[in-house]
Amino acid sequence: MASAVTPLDQPSNYKDSQARVDRQKQHGLLQKSTTLYIGNLSFYTTEEQIHDMFSKCANPEDGGGVKRIIMGLDRHTRTPCGFCFVEFYTHAEALASMRYISGTKLDERIIRCDLDLGYREGRQFGRGKSGGQVRDEHRQDYDPGRGGWGAQAQRLEIERRRQVEERYADAEQGAPIAAGGEEWKQLNAVPAEPTLKRGRSPEDEDESSRQRVRVDEDTGRM
Amino acid sequence: MSYERHGSGHGGGGRRRRRDDYDHYDHHRRETQESPDHKLKAAIIKLGEVDAEQELPQLAAKLLSQEQSSIPAIAEGFRLAYALVYLRPTAEEENGSASIAKPPLGRLILNDFWKGFQAYLDKLAWRETRLCIHFFAHLTVTNLISPQSMLGLLQSFTAVLDDFGVSNGRAKRAARCAMEGLMRAGRVLKEHSATAVQAYNDSLRATKWLVHPLAYMHSPDIPVEHAEHADEILDCAVSALKTLDLSDFLDVSGIFPNQLEALSTETSDDAPIKKEEWPEYMLRLFDNDVTADPKTPAGYAVRAGLIDIIEIFEVNRKECARLLVEYPKWSVKGTFKPRPGSTAEASDHIPLPGRDWQLESTLIETILGAQFLLPESAAKPIYYTTLITELCKLSPQTVGPAVGKSIRKLYAYCANGLDAEVLRRFAEWFSVHMSNFGFQWVWKEWVPDLALPVHHPKRVFVHRALELEIRLSYYDRILKTLPQPFQEPSAGAMPDQAPGPTYEYDDPTAPHYDAAQSVLNQLRSRTKPDDALVHLDTLKNNLAETADIGEDPDTLIRSIAIQSLLHIGARSFSHFLNAVERYLVVLRALSGTLEAKVHVLELVANFWQRSRQMVGIVFDKLMQYQIVEPADVVGWVFAHSAEGLDWDLLRGAVDKANGRVVVARRRVATLRKEDDDAHARAKANSNGDVSDAAAMDVDAETMHDPQVTQAEDSPQLVTALKAYAALTREQKSTLARVLEGFVHTLHSSSDAARRVIAPGAWDGHTSWRDEEWVAWQNWMWYKHFCRAYSPYLRSFVTTLTVVSFASLETASDDGAVLMKRIWGMATGQE
Taking CB atoms and an 8 Å limit, are B727 and A184 in contact across chains? yes
Please write the tens of the pLDDT for every residue from A166-180: 888 888 777 788 888
pLDDT higher than 80, residue A208: no
Nearest to A7 among B316, B592, B659 (CB): B316
Q: Which residues in chain A have their CB less than 8 angstroms from residue B658's CB?
A: 61
Q: Which residues in chain B have their CB less than 8 angstroms from residue A196's CB?
A: 589
DSSP for chain A, please give it.
-TTTS--TTS--S---TT--S-HHHHHHHHTT--EEEEES--TT--HHHHHHHHGGG--GGGT--EEEEEEEE-TTT--EEEEEEEEESSHHHHHHHHHHTTTSEETTEE-EEEEES---TTTTB--STTSS-HHHHH--S-BGGGTBSSHHHHGGGTGGGHHHHHHTTT--TT--------S--PPPPPPSSTTPPPPPPHHHHHHHHHHHHHHHHHHTT-
Q: How far is A70 from chain B (nearest CA, A)?
A: 7
pLDDT higher than 60, residue B732: yes
B513-623+630-640 belongs to which CATH class?
Answer: mainly alpha
Distance of alpha carbon B591 from alpha carbon B240, whole angstroms: 61
Nearest to B316 among A8, A56, A61 (CB): A8
CB A52 within 8 A of CB A145: no
CB B590 within 8 A of CB B601: no
Amino acid at B372: F
pLDDT at residue number B310: 95
CA B526 from chain center: how many Å? 43
pLDDT at residue number B686: 75
Sign of CA dihedral B149, B154, B157, B158: negative
Q: Which residues in chain A have their CB less than 8 angstroms from residue B1's CB?
A: 11-13, 15, 23, 26-27
Higher pLDDT, B575 or B137: B575
Distance of alpha carbon B187 from alpha carbon B251, whole angstroms: 9
Q: How far is A154 from chain B (nearest CA, A)?
A: 23
Distance of alpha carbon B371 from alpha carbon B429, whole angstroms: 9
Taking CB atoms and an 8 Å limit, are A105 and B571 in contact across chains? no
pLDDT (mean) for A147-151: 63
Express as a percent the part of chain B with pLDDT over 90.
49
Distance of alpha carbon B830 from alpha carbon B823, whole angstroms: 9
pLDDT (mean) for A75-85: 91
Please write the tens of the pLDDT for every residue from B72-106: 555 555 555 554 443 333 434 444 454 444 445 56
Distance of alpha carbon A69 from alpha carbon B621, whole angstroms: 13
pLDDT higher than 90, residue B114: no
- Residue B694 pLDDT level (bands cut at 50, 70, 90): very low
Q: Is A101 on the interface with B (CB under 8 A)?
A: yes
Q: How far is B502 from chain A (nearest CA, A)?
A: 17
b/e per residue B330-359 (b: at least 16 CB within 10 A): bbbebbbbbbeeeeeeeeeeeeeeebbbbb
- Which strand ranges, in their side-by-side order, compose the sheet holding A112-116? A66-73, A80-88, A35-39, A112-116
Q: Which residues in chain B have their CB less than 8 angstroms from residue A71's CB?
A: 572, 574
pLDDT (mean) for B230-244: 80
As a 3-state breakdown, chain B gives helix, strand, coil percent values, each rounded to 5, of 65, 0, 30
pLDDT higher than 80, residue B701: no
Taking CB atoms and an 8 Å limit, are B626 and A185 in contact across chains? yes
Task: Return the minimum-mean-pLDDT range out of A118-122, A141-145, B634-638, B797-801.
Answer: A141-145
CA B406 from chain center: how many Å? 20
Count of CB atoms situated within 10 Å of the CB of B67: 7
Name the closest residue on chain A to residue B533, using Cα atoms.
Answer: A195
pLDDT (mean) for B482-508: 95
pLDDT at residue number B259: 37
Higher pLDDT, B771 or A197: B771
pLDDT higher than 90, residue A57: yes
Please write the tens of the pLDDT for every residue from B397-449: 999 999 999 999 999 999 988 999 999 999 999 999 999 999 999 999 999 99
Count of CB atoms situated within 10 Å of the CB of A84: 23
Mutate which: A46, A110, A184, A185, vs B, most B CBs within 10 A? A184
Taking CB atoms and an 8 Å limit, are A24 and B264 in contact across chains? no
Mean pLDDT score across all residues of chain B: 81
Higher pLDDT, B510 or B351: B510
Nearest to B380 among A13, A96, A196 (CB): A96
Those residues whose C-beta lies under 8 Å from the C-beta of residue B165, and which sit 6 or more positions away, are none
Task: Return the minimum-mean-pLDDT range out of A178-182, B138-142, B665-669.
Answer: B138-142
Nearest to B83 among A4, A65, A210 (CB): A4
pLDDT at residue number B138: 76
Q: Is A26 on the interface with B (CB under 8 A)?
A: yes
Higher pLDDT, B270 or B282: B282
Q: Which residues in chain A have their CB less than 8 angstroms from residue B725's CB?
A: none
Q: Is A219 on the interface with B (CB under 8 A)?
A: no
Express as a percent the part of chain B with pLDDT over 70.
75
Q: Is A28 on the interface with B (CB under 8 A)?
A: no
Taking CB atoms and an 8 Å limit, are A194 and B589 in contact across chains? yes
Q: Which of B108-122, B221-235, B542-556 has the highest mean pLDDT?
A: B542-556
Q: How far is B264 from chain A (nearest CA, A)?
A: 5
pLDDT higher than 70, residue A221: no
Distance of alpha carbon A101 from alpha carbon B293, whole angstroms: 32
Q: How far is B683 from chain A (nearest CA, A)?
A: 25
Taking CB atoms and an 8 Å limit, are B83 and A1 in contact across chains? yes
Q: Which residues in chain A have their CB less than 8 angstroms from residue B389's CB?
A: 104
Q: Which residues in chain A have their CB less than 8 angstroms from residue B275's CB?
A: none
Q: Is A221 on the interface with B (CB under 8 A)?
A: no
Please write the tens of the pLDDT for every residue from B316-342: 999 999 999 999 888 888 899 887 777
pLDDT at residue number B549: 67
Nearest to B620 among A5, A65, A190 (CB): A65
Distance of alpha carbon B809 from alpha carbon B799, whole angstroms: 14
DSSP 8-state assignment for residue B418: B
pLDDT higher than 90, residue B22: no
Amino acid at A94: A
Please write the tens of the pLDDT for every residue from B179-203: 888 888 776 676 555 566 666 677 6
Q: Is A48 on the interface with B (CB under 8 A)?
A: yes
Q: How far is B816 from chain A (nearest CA, A)?
A: 30
Q: Which of A121-135, A162-176, B147-161, B315-329 has the highest mean pLDDT?
A: B315-329
Distance of alpha carbon B754 from alpha carbon B773, whole angstroms: 12
pLDDT (mean) for A148-173: 63
pLDDT (mean) for B146-159: 80
Name the closest residue on chain B to residue A176, using Cα atoms.
Answer: B578
Task: Return the minimum-mean-pLDDT range out of B204-213, B297-306, B374-383, B508-517.
Answer: B204-213
Q: Does residue B667 sit in helix, strand or coil?
A: helix
Higher pLDDT, B92 or B457: B457
DSSP 8-state assignment for residue B336: B
Taking CB atoms and an 8 Å limit, are A47 and B313 in contact across chains? no
pLDDT at residue number A152: 47
pTM reported for the whole predicted model:
0.83
Q: Is A52 on the interface with B (CB under 8 A)?
A: yes
Taking CB atoms and an 8 Å limit, are A107 and B473 in contact across chains? yes
Q: Is A163 on the interface with B (CB under 8 A)?
A: no
Express as a percent the part of chain A with pLDDT over 90.
36
Q: Is A180 on the interface with B (CB under 8 A)?
A: yes
Please write the tens of the pLDDT for every residue from B557-571: 999 999 999 999 999
Nearest to B1 among A7, A13, A210 (CB): A13
Q: For residue A36, give the nearest of A106, A108, A84 by alpha carbon.
A: A84
Q: Give start-end residues of each CATH 1.25.40.180 domain in chain B.
A: 513-623+630-640
pLDDT at residue number B354: 82
Q: Which residues in chain B have their CB less than 8 angstroms from residue A107's CB?
A: 472-473
Nearest to A23 among B21, B592, B614 (CB): B21
Q: Is A171 on the interface with B (CB under 8 A)?
A: no
pLDDT at residue number B810: 85
Taking CB atoms and an 8 Å limit, are B573 and A3 in contact across chains? no
pLDDT higher than 80, residue A29: yes
Please write the tens of the pLDDT for every residue from B746-767: 988 778 998 998 888 888 999 9
Nearest to B316 among A6, A26, A181 (CB): A6
Q: Which residues in chain B have their CB less than 8 angstroms from residue A88's CB?
A: none
pLDDT (mean) for B270-281: 64
Please write the tens of the pLDDT for every residue from B529-584: 999 999 999 999 998 887 676 788 999 999 999 999 999 999 999 999 999 999 99
Distance of alpha carbon B453 from alpha carbon B414, whole angstroms: 13
- Residue B729 pLDDT level (bands cut at 50, 70, 90): very high
Please write the tens of the pLDDT for every residue from B39-77: 666 666 655 555 444 555 555 555 555 544 455 555 555
Name the closest residue on chain A to residue B78, using Cα atoms.
Answer: A4
- Residue A163 pLDDT level (bands cut at 50, 70, 90): low
Q: How far is A4 from chain B (nearest CA, A)?
A: 7
Taking CB atoms and an 8 Å limit, are A3 and B80 in contact across chains? yes
